Structure 1
Amino acid sequence: MSKYRGFLGFSIVFLLALTFFLPISHTKAASLGESMVSYGKKFMGVPYVFGGTTPKGFDCSGFTQYVYKHHGVSIPRTTGEQYSVGTSVAKSELKPGDLVFFKNTYKQGISHVGIYAGNNQVLNATTSKGIDLVSLSNSYWGPKYAGAKRLVDGKFNDVSKSNQAYEAIEDLTDKNIIQGFDDYSFKPDDPITRGQAAALINRELKLQPKNISYFKDVPSTNRFAKDIAAMREAEIISGYPDQTYRPNNYITRTEMAVILQRAFELQLGSAAAAENKYKDISSSYWAHDAIVAMKAIDETGVFKTSNYYGSDRATRAVFSAALYNAMNF
Structure 2
Amino acid sequence: MTSGDDIANLARQSLGVQYVWGGNSLSSGVDCSGLVQQVYAHFGIQLPRVTYNQIQVGASVQPDKLRPGDLVFFDTDSSKNGPDHVGIYLGGGKFIHAPRPGEGVKISSLSDSYYMNRWMGGRRISGVSATPDPAALAGDAAPRLDSHELAETYGMSYSFFKSQPELKKLLDGAVAGQWTPDKFQAEIKNSNWWKKNSDTVRQMQVLQKTDPATYKAQMEAASVAAKQMAAKSGAILSDKNVQQLAKNMVWYGWGDEQVSNFLGQYVKFGANQTLGGMAGQAAQAIKNEAYKNGVAVTEQSVLNNAQYLVRGLTSMEKIQSNLREQSAGLYPAFAEQIKAGASIQDLAQPYVQVVAQELGLPETDVNAYSAKVKQALTRTNAQGQPEAMNLDAFTQLIRNDPAWRKQTSTADKTMNIGRQVLQQMGLAT
Q: Structure 1 length normalisation: TM-score? A: 0.37
**Rg (Cα) greater in structure:** 2
Per residue, is there more helix in 1 or in 2? 2
Q: TM-score, normalised on structure 2?
A: 0.28
